Structure 1
Amino acid sequence: MSFAKSLALTFDKKFRGYFIVLLIVSVFLQLWPVFFTQPVRFALRIAICNVLLLLSVSAVYRYVPGKIITFILTLALTLNFAVAFSCWDIYQSEFNTVFAMSILATNASEAKSMFGLYAYLLPVVALYFVVTWYTVKSLSVNITPRVKFISVILLVLFMGWFAVTCFIKKKQDLEVYYPLSSRILVYTPLYTGAELIIAHRDNALAEQIIKADPHYPALQIHDTGIENYVVIVGESARRSNMQLYGFAQQTTPVEASFARNALVFSQAIAPASATVLAVPMILSNADPDHFTVDRLADNVVNIAAKSGYYTEWISAQGNSGKSNNYIVAIASTSAKHQWIQTRYDTDLLPALDEALKKPGRKVIFLHINGSHEVACDRYPESAAVLNTGDKYEDCYNNAIHFTDFFIGEVARRLQDSASSLLYFSDHGLEKNPELASLYMHGSRNPSKEAYNVPQFIWYSPQALENQKRRLGWVSEPWSTANNYSLMLSWLGIDTGTENCLSLLEHCYQPQSQIFVMDGGRHIFNYSQLRKNFSSPETAIPWRKAKSDSL
């Protein structure tokens, strides 16, 4: 027997003798990045499933197919560990959809150039593979068939329980964003695969919307006398906390001064209580009953570009994930789109300055963080101008005030040109006295607070001089799901069909009923909702979205 072979056998026997230590080391390595990035309950689920997987596969290791299964499983576990460990070690972050999209979008050249960044991690990754392989090998020799059998049964029960739970939640529309496969993977040591599934689904959805490319055979553009259009897509702004709408504190002094040069909606109602549903419906021809690919493709960003406008999307929010997948798909139809990683919305202003330099007619979309939870983080310390002693109330109102300052900075840039600004919030927030932070998104059994939002169209002095504009207050309820139609009129775009959902058209008639959607895709008649979160809960009739909705 050769020396090398003898050494290998000796090494192999020593490994076999320490099967418990190997098992602990393998599981500990897999959990290493989890300890720093996830809750304890997440780590505990991963640990249990990991142990059961290794024990179960050891039952078939001695057979040739078993060794193949072991190799595939060990390789998959190693890849999961490598991805999670590199994200934690390099970026101090958990693996998320943004990273997953980057992986799916990379090519051979990019992968080669990035290899140097991760090369130093290879010894740790290789160590994990070796330890895990020998863990299974040693377990196959040192544990009894009875223990192996029990492990298989427990693994089936463990995975079965979570699979059934996830399936029930999916059927109840509690987690409509997450594919069932991704929800199940989250409970396993292959959890990074869940983000890859979501990223793949979101990429495919965006591609569908972009490829849908609706055709408008009678598309016409009328001269509006306006060169610069800016749309500010606000976030989590409650109308009742704004000075413009009668709030006692001076939260919106800039917007209050706009009233004489603006069309202000006194009862604007968002179509959904969550960003991921509300913004796409506001910007597209989709509505609570028809949230489909073809309707989302028929959006104002796309149609403005087809009408000859230069379009640009500038966002302080992310370009992936649960809150942004449909929005990113719509934004991607613009001539230029950029997502700026920033803490404060004012950091978008330099990008706006560059966009305004573009010649000709343009529509620029600014998607801000506004007063989204946690409101205390949405403005710099120097902007904490309101101080009543109620910390979280002050935080929220200061965030509203900072958004008002931002709007003022945008208007200042438009003041000396023929320009117009549309501002609206994606949805409102409910005030829950039982929460320390007070404000929250509307969920099951929502109140009207979750949908009550601000909206106005402001015109610069030059825009008011060159054409007559509709100004003043709109007193009747207005669904911002009709903003798609409103913006077509505002931009002077005619598709060749009647646009009677637009307040700016002669054929417009106020809606007798306005329907809204909660995060679980339940559709309510807005008028039947309770007034606010503190109002007594009642059984409110609802229906589900049409079967062809996403």
Structure 2
Amino acid sequence: MESQPFMPKKTIFYTASLFTLVLIPNLFFLYYINEFRTTLLCSNLALFFIILFLNRFKHTKFLAVVALLFFVINNSFAIFSSFYFRDLFNVTLALSMLTTNTSEAWEMAQEYVGALFLAFFYFIALYHCIKYKFFKTLDYPILIIGFIFAIALPMRHLYKEYKHTGIDYRLINSSKLSNYLKNTPFFSLAPFIEAKDFLDQTIQFKNQTFDYPPFKTKPNNIENIIVVIGESARRDALSLYGNITKTTPLIDKRINQLYIYDQAVSPAAFTNASISLLLSKQIPNKNFSIEKNLDNIISLANQTNIWETYWLSTQENISMYVNMFSMINNQAKNKNWISNAIYDEAIISEYEKALTDNHKKRLIFIHLQGSHPVCSKRYPDGFKLFADNSTTINEYNNSIYYTDFVIDKLIQKLESTSSMLIYVSDHGLSNIGTKMVHATNKKGVEVPFFIWYSDFVSQDFKKKGRDSTPISTTNLYNILMEYLGIEGIKYKDRNSKLEVLTSEFTILQYKDMEDGQ
């Protein structure tokens, strides 16, 4: 009599398929980040043994589907971040999701619609596997033993952290809970908990003010200081910095009135942290704190009782929570978010109103949409100019070309006054695959930084030419202090090591970062 095989071919196929599907996040990490996370695989296997156990019983099948849906969402975050950003899903990405607004969320959904469909098919494939009769009849001891073996490695890793890092998990707070979850099947929840903690701190300190020691304000002839904060503009995209594509022809023509920092480095590759570090007195360090944002250049300017402060933005102020730097821009005495702005030139009318009000000295911050992905949505049809590179680069160059047009419009309103305009981008972008994305590499933090002076600004303040000395854009605080005439306040640390806050809120020196593309 012919013996039956130990396991039918169909069962072998479904078992192999299920294991491969569970392994997919690790394969993405291995290929795109050069890291195989064994604890992640074990955590996923542990959750899957729970799913198979729930799927055995009529009254818990629904819970099995819910758990499977969570499994797919949880791992989709990990797959998405490794594929598009070459990074693990982290607190930065979680912050971006929690502080997004409706229009931005809709834009991103359209941009990454392929990823959403893949997540849906991932769920269908896994669901089809667990419906196979072999998995529905697995013995309880097998499921329980499998779960114990799968969870053993993550628990061992957690225990080692407990013993060697001083994290006491017996006293759970948001930070410790986040560290705990990183070693469980709920690992994607960890960055969200960290992000929410930052946002809760923002709300906590929102209405507090910083007490400065007595200081003096030295008189000067400057009427307007305009600070234009660009969005996602990397330095080498500007023809002012050598791009052979003429992306900044209008600014290029004004070169005799410019002081250009040739090697400016942003303190972070993401907006929430970079603007916080630009405008507050803190620099990138392991003790980054929302509370330290209380000491910021807008608050300091207010206390001169000489300078009127403004925050004008074409980015929406409405979000699921709040931006990490909202406690800074809300310090401005005059605020306007043009939430219905399609393009950045919508800021011009509000800008003109500010320049013609009754105040004699103004510090005006203008926050642009700039080149924020999706770049093709950042400029009107009339600025679809370039076609000599890939679609991604052409669209990015078009967005820079449009920003050049907007900056020139802003400067035109200042030419007959004693005024200056500073342009600095919050961070750059890196070209990964067919997209321009946030990335903690050199391209992600190399930014344009220059100052334009009108002919009426006193020679005591004017600088011309190019400065090739590496500089962190965190020095904006000190630069503005000088132009505001503030004396008697200690200068901000110059961040001469060019330290950068990573997406995990750790510190990396610019010289040690990967080049990027």
Q: TM-score, normalised by structure 2?
A: 0.62
What per-residue deviation string (whole Å, max 9, x for no partner) do you get for residues 294-324 of structure 1?
5311111111111121111112223365996
The answer to whether the Cα contact below 8 Å between 2:461 and 2:483 also exists between their aligned partners in 1 is: no
- Structure 1 counterpart of 2:294, from 281, 293, 297: 297
- Structure 2 counterpart of 1:314, from 312, 315, 324: 312
Q: C-alpha distance in 1, partners of 2:346/2:490?
A: 40
What per-residue deviation string (whole Å, max 9, x for no partner) do you get for residues 490-513 of structure 1?
22122x1454868xxxxxxxx753
What per-residue deviation string (whole Å, max 9, x for no partner) do you get for residues 414-453 of structure 1?
1222211111011122233xx112x22223xx23x22211
2:382 corresponding residue in structure 1: 382
1:493 corresponding residue in structure 2: 486
Q: How does 1:394-409 map to 2 (within 5 A)?
A: 394-409=394-409
1:473 corresponding residue in structure 2: 465
Q: C-alpha distance in 1, partners of 2:291/2:485?
A: 23
Q: How does 1:512-527 map to 2 (within 5 A)?
A: 513-526=497-510
Q: C-alpha distance in 1, partners of 2:223/2:409?
A: 18
Q: CA deviation at 1:286?
A: 0.7
Letter in 1 for 2:422: L
Pair 524,294 (structure 1): closer, same or farther in 2 beyond 3 Å = same
2:476 corresponding residue in structure 1: 483
Q: C-alpha distance in 2, partners of 1:475/1:245?
A: 12
Q: C-alpha distance in 2, partners of 1:436/1:99?
A: 23
Pair 358,23 (structure 1): closer, same or farther in 2 beyond 3 Å = farther
Letter in 1 for 2:326: V
The answer to whether the Cα contact below 8 Å between 1:442 and 1:518 also exists between their aligned partners in 2 is: no
Q: How does 1:360-439 map to 2 (within 5 A)?
A: 360=359, 361-388=361-388, 390-432=390-432, 435-437=433-435, 439=436
2:516 corresponding residue in structure 1: 533
Q: CA deviation at 1:26?
A: 13
The answer to whether the Cα contact below 8 Å between 1:206 and 1:326 also exists between their aligned partners in 2 is: no
SS at match of 2:385: coil
Q: C-alpha distance in 2, partners of 1:486/1:237?
A: 21
Q: CA deviation at 1:213?
A: 1.7
SS at match of 2:364: strand
What per-residue deviation string (whole Å, max 9, x for no partner) do you get for residues 331-385 of structure 1?
1111122322223111122221222222221111111111121211111111112
Q: C-alpha distance in 2, partners of 1:207/1:351?
A: 30
1:345 corresponding residue in structure 2: 344
Letter in 2 for 1:245: Y
Q: Which has the higher contact order (CA 8 A, sep 6+)?
A: 2
1:254 corresponding residue in structure 2: 250
Q: C-alpha distance in 2, partners of 1:371/1:100?
A: 17
Q: Structure 1 vs Structure 2: percent identity of aligned residues? A: 25
1:334 corresponding residue in structure 2: 332
Structure 1 residue ranges without an equivalent (≥5) = 1-19, 29-33, 44-95, 102-146, 172-177, 188-193, 503-510, 535-550
Q: C-alpha distance in 1, partners of 2:314/2:496?
A: 36
Which one has a bigger Cα radius of gyration? 1
Q: C-alpha distance in 2, partners of 1:362/1:263?
A: 21
Pair 184,366 (structure 1): closer, same or farther in 2 beyond 3 Å = farther
484-493 or 317-326, which moves further after superposition?
317-326
- Count residues in correspondence: 395
Pair 254,216 (structure 1): closer, same or farther in 2 beyond 3 Å = farther
1:53 corresponding residue in structure 2: none
Q: How does 1:38-53 map to 2 (within 5 A)?
A: none
2:452 corresponding residue in structure 1: 458
Pair 99,269 (structure 1): closer, same or farther in 2 beyond 3 Å = closer
What per-residue deviation string (whole Å, max 9, x for no partner) do you get for residues 226-285 of structure 1?
111111011111111111112111100122122211211111111111111111111111
1:505 corresponding residue in structure 2: none
Structure 2 residue ranges without an equivalent (≥5) = 1-56, 78-96, 103-139, 166-173, 185-190
Pair 366,21 (structure 1): closer, same or farther in 2 beyond 3 Å = farther
Q: TM-score, normalised by structure 1?
A: 0.59
Q: CA deviation at 1:524?
A: 1.8
Letter in 1 for 2:476: N
Pair 487,369 (structure 1): closer, same or farther in 2 beyond 3 Å = same
2:234 corresponding residue in structure 1: 238
Letter in 2 for 1:384: K
The answer to whether the Cα contact below 8 Å between 1:212 and 1:294 also exists between their aligned partners in 2 is: no
